[in-house]
Amino acid sequence: ALLGETDPHLERLGSQYLPLKFSRRHGDPSRPWNQFSIELKDADGGKKLDYQGNWRDIFQNWEALALSYPGYLEHMIARFLSASTADGYNPYRLIRDGFDWEIIDPADPWSHIGYWGDHQIIYLLKLLELSQKYHPGRLAELLGKPIYTYANVPYRIKPYRDLVKNPHETIDFDAELHQRIEARVAAMGSDGKYVQRSGGEIYRVNLLEKMLVPVLVKLSNFVPEAGIWMNTQRPEWNDANNALVGYGASMVTLCYLRRFFRFALDFLESHTGLQVAVSREVLGFLEDLKAVLTRHQAKLEGPFGDSDRKGFLDEVGEAGSQYRLKVYQKGFSGEQGPLAVADLIAFFSLAMRYVDHSIAANQRQDHLFHAYNLIDLGQPDRIAIRRLYEMLEGQVAVLSSGYLSAEASLALLGALRRSALYREDQSSYLLYPDRELTRFADKNKVTAAHLSSAGLSPEASVFQNGRILVPGPAGTW
């Protein structure tokens, strides 16, 4: 009913409407960090339209819902896009009345902030793919329509140089901004949580810009041959990978970024003569990254050296840092410029060459692919990569990416069946191999060889009376 409305704010509100009842909340209600409010009935005892959920969980549910009832697909996309931030991420929870985020509470030992790195690409992409499948042409109608917004989450990702110095502490909580947002919400409702222009009007942008921003942000954290740097204080979907935060790089997200590029190229191919208005700040970010990719493309002819890798990350990371600085300190100017779809196609094609180069570099000798890597940021002029053991999600991601031919896909599936990830007794797969870990009693042992390599001997005075080391079995300490 709102199609063709002349009031863009009314169309913005209508585009996000979803007549849903209670949706999934993640996890066990007994866990102190999970908050639940299951609203089933209104004050009169009737059924109540209400939903809430952590970001990943609710969009996983909606993907399945869209397959059975695709009529609200574009509304789901609008909820996703309008709750995403200008720095390319998303708040923690989605609720019927908007969204909310975690805060730093000194009295709560569980309080923590950060962004999960897997939220932004694949869950949006699956909804976009379904829209193209069930409603061909609908996305094209929305491409330049300014009915989407930016969530104003009071997190501030630090400048690139600070990320490199300490990749475990990368986000500041802006308590003052948080209070200002709460005051705006009290005055004007949930619209107070969106980015506003200087006059207080909600800043609106189009579908193309909202699709572009998370892609640019991922590319600004791209480490060649390692993946997307996980530097926002959270892992991806698997909390068991918390240890990867800060020094981990995700090939999984890079593979899904390739799938995004492939979709976007196919989608935009029939609109090559079109120009779409995009925020000047985003256009500048795009041009900065395009310049970096163009300068370094000769390196795609062979492997990246450790120093080349650091130089590349310095440049894309600084481009992302400068973009964030602009939107954090000054907000969006409101000025927009034309982005030619043909130019965007060329940029995505160039970026996909880098992605393909890295995927190829992450194929193992057993034909599986690395899922995550560790990067060494300890040297100022180089980044070395440490490969981790095989993981199932790496294989799923590369199969999903469209990178492999049919023959290569069959080879990977065969290698997967022969790998340590396969459990023959269950005819199923493990997330990662069932490894033999060092037992507690076997840890913290120092051998004579260890002492010798450190230039020490057991007779040294520091070892007397068990002050540092005590004798253990079989000549160890």
Residue type at 476 in one-letter notation: T
96-100, 254-258, 299-303, 314-318: range with lowest mean pLDDT:
96-100
Right CATH for 8-435 from 1.50.10, 1.10.3470, 1.25.40, 3.30.1360: 1.50.10
Report the pLDDT value the prediction gives residue 8, as an integer from 0 to 100: 82
Q: What is the pLDDT of residues 121-152, one digit of tens each?
A: 999 999 999 999 999 999 999 999 999 999 99
Check pLDDT > 90 for residue 342.
yes
Higher local confidence (pLDDT), 107 or 115 = 115
Closest CA to 309 of 359, 376, 231, 364: 376
Its pTM stands at 0.91
CATH 1.50.10, the chain: domain bounds:
8-435
CA 335, distance to chain mean position in Å, is: 28
Task: Please give the average per-residue pLDDT across 101-106, as a whole number.
Answer: 89
- Amino acid at the residue 399: L
Q: What is the pLDDT of residue 198?
A: 81
User: Which pLDDT does position 33 carry in this prediction?
Assistant: 64
Write down the residue that tokens 């979803």 correspond to: 18
Per-residue pLDDT at 25 exceeds 70:
no
The predicted model gives 342-346 an average pLDDT of 98
Cα separations in angstroms, 275 against 268, 336, 339, 344: 11, 12, 5, 10
Lowest mean pLDDT among 92-96, 253-257, 373-377, 388-392: 92-96
Task: Please give the Cα distance from 236 to 246 (Å, whole number).
Answer: 12
Mean pLDDT check: name the lowest of 50-54, 251-255, 327-331, 431-435.
50-54
CA nearest to 118, candidates 260, 326, 268, 23: 260
The packing angle between helices 251-268 and 207-219, to 10°, is 150
Q: Which two tokens stand for residue 113?
A: 């902030």
**What pLDDT is attached to residue 186?**
96
- Asked if pLDDT for residue 260 goes beyond 90, the answer is yes
pLDDT tens track for 403-452: 999 999 999 999 999 999 999 999 999 999 998 888 887 787 788 788 78
pLDDT (tens digit, 9 = 90+) per residue, 218-257? 999 999 999 999 999 999 988 778 889 999 999 999 999 9
User: What tokens appear for 463 in the block?
Assistant: 């070892």
Instruction: Determine the pLDDT at residue 9.
Output: 85
What whole-number distance in Å separates Cα of residue 324 and Cα of residue 160?
10
Q: How far is CA 350 from CA 105, 134, 228, 357, 470, in A?
A: 44, 30, 17, 11, 59
Predicted pLDDT at 27: 57
Residue 394 has pLDDT above 90, yes or no: yes
Which range, 14-23, 145-154, 196-205, 465-474, is most confident? 145-154
Quick one: what percent of the chain has pLDDT higher than 90?
A: 75
pLDDT confidence of residue 108: 81
Per DSSP (E only), the strands in 167-217 are: 171-173
**Would the pLDDT of 51 be above 70?**
yes
Judge whether 255 and 397 are in contact, CB under 8 Å.
yes
Whether 352 contacts 367, CB under 8 Å: no
Point out the least confidently predicted range of 98-112, 258-272, 338-352, 370-384: 98-112
